[in-house]
Structure 1
Amino acid sequence: MSTTSLSGKVAVILGGTGGIGLAAGATLAQLGASVVLTGRDADKAASAAATLPAGNHLGAVAEISDSASLRALADEVSHHYGRVDILVNTAGFTRAVPHADLDALDDALIDELFAVNWRGQFAAIRAFAPHLRATGDGLVVNVGSIAGRTGQGSNVAYCAAKAGLDVMAISLGRALAPHIRVLNVSPGVVDTGFVPGRDSGFNERAAKTTPLKRIGQAQDVADAIAACATSLRFATGTTIVVDGGRQLG
């Protein structure tokens, strides 16, 4: 049965101080959830949590590429609230590298891209799985990208890592059922500062080549994340695309 209330639920958002993470936190808080916004800076995380609608919210420190940090976060949240119901992985990183410039995508950058955009998401799920399973109705939402489907994105390794998130949802959706559902939300171009070097001119060009004639907003992605927790309760192991039809072009 779908529900529009998340009262009594606890949601942890990795990358919660970024544009999508903060929008997702505010949306889940409006639905009644207690929200933990995590980031690499304690003061920034605390300030972000203070902007959420009234409730029992926290700012916390976590490093997505450090598994020990993620385990410590899981223990901290579980100790504070006594439960964890929803894990949202919005943390990520990229750098624009032309796909044809093979030498520019060196080994160190490839390793960093996979550590932050794939390994970290898996490690977070691994750390939080016992707590999510204990509720009997846990949910993981990873924020991917249509780059994982189209092969068009900031660089080849980023596209591959995001494709890996799509496969992870399939694998873990199967493996963690029935007590934990795993879903991906996959946006196209979103109006945040996530990709360095993209300006208003890029956004305008992207809007013109998107069927719905605009680029995504952080709230579009947040609404899809909220739907995973409320309306789409019979869905797991799949990817929900919210790109305005961009991948159709």
Structure 2
Amino acid sequence: MAQGDYQDFVVVVTGASTGLGRAIAVETARQGARAVVINYAHNREDAEETARLVRDLGAEAALVQGDVARDEDCRRIAAAAEPYGRIDALFNNAGTTKFAGHADLEAVTGQDFLDLYAVNVVGAYQMIRACRALLEAGPRPGAVVNTASIAGVTGIGSSVPYAASKGALNTMTLSLARALAPKIRVNAVCPGFIDTPWFGKGLPGAAVDKIRANAAAGTPLQAASTPEDIAASAVFLASPASRHVTGETLLVDAGSHLGFAPLVAR
């Protein structure tokens, strides 16, 4: 097993079948995690691939299907860690969206808001509540990392309900960081564009390439972030290296929040 900051950790990752969730699960295993609970909502085949990658790195893997919008599912996900007696790190990564132009107020409904909040905000809350006792049971403060978004800071993103839900998640991070200290640390990571299939759903390859190129061109670092780029920051926030960090929202977006545009576009 690899030696690292996560040596002997018990980790729970929601939405871990692909993309950022998978990258987080794999990175914690790479850094020495003892066990990783891998939650998925729909695609078991992809989740099993995540589990294989985790096991190849020497960690145990437990798969749990569940929708974090359902409290009973959250409690079942948390229960998968009970044999280990604790949870050292919970990554609230499960999320959903609806794609709609921000100016088209008829493109989204009140139900769209409720559906997105149910997963992106309430789901994270329910997971923390379900895992609280195990997060408090370890030899060090348990750590929670919420996957928010630059959309929740700047009001951009796939739709107004999405941006609003991620803003709410950032605020909830602050509330729970106060409420659960000193036994649990709560932080959030705020990615910008992440180069995953999620961004290219239903689009031809050329369109995806254009999105990727535009994303990179619009950042000071001239980079389109990969899941592994973001996972490294999320994993840091739950590691002993950040043991004095709580209530923080870490923007990991290659600098896009700076409002950068190439000189030729100004």
TM-score range, shorter chain: over 0.9
1:93 and 1:194 in contact (8 A); partners too: no
* Runs of 4+ that moved beyond 6 A: none
1:123 corresponding residue in structure 2 = 126
1:21 corresponding residue in structure 2 = 21
Residue 178 of structure 1, CA deviation: 0.4
Code of the residue aligned with 1:106 in structure 2: it is: T
TM-score (norm 2): 0.88
Query: Identity of aligned pairs, percent?
Result: 36
For residues 118 and 171 of structure 2, the distance between their equivalents in structure 1, rounded to whole angstroms, comes to 16
1:118 and 1:165 in contact (8 A); partners too: yes
1:139 corresponding residue in structure 2 = 143
Q: Paired residues, what number?
A: 246
For residues 158 and 55 of structure 1, the distance between their equivalents in structure 2, rounded to whole angstroms, comes to 34
Q: 1:210 aligns with which of 212, 219, 222?
A: 219
Task: Report the 3-state secondary structure (helix = DSSP H, G, I; strand = E; otherwise coil) of the residue aligned with 2:241.
Answer: coil
Task: Report the 3-state secondary structure (helix = DSSP H, G, I; strand = E; otherwise coil) of the residue aligned with 1:173.
Answer: helix
1:36 corresponding residue in structure 2 = 37
For residues 153 and 47 of structure 2, the distance between their equivalents in structure 1, rounded to whole angstroms, comes to 32
Range 3-12 or range 92-101, more displaced: 3-12
1:190 corresponding residue in structure 2 = 194
Considering only aligned residues, what root-mean-square deviation do their CA atoms show, in Å? 1.5
Range 34-43 or range 147-156, more displaced: 34-43
Residue 72 of structure 1, CA deviation: 1.6
2:52 corresponding residue in structure 1 = 50
2:159 corresponding residue in structure 1 = 155
Task: Report the 3-state secondary structure (helix = DSSP H, G, I; strand = E; otherwise coil) of the residue aligned with 2:60.
Answer: coil
2:93 corresponding residue in structure 1 = 90
For residues 30 and 230 of structure 1, the distance between their equivalents in structure 2, rounded to whole angstroms, comes to 15
Q: 1:197 to 1:152 in 2, by over 3 A?
A: farther
2:245 corresponding residue in structure 1 = 235
2:230 corresponding residue in structure 1 = 221
TM-score (norm 1): 0.94
Residue 95 of structure 1, CA deviation: 2.0
Higher relative contact order (CA 8 A, sep 6+): 1
Gaps of 5+ in 1: none
Gaps of 5+ in 2: 260-266
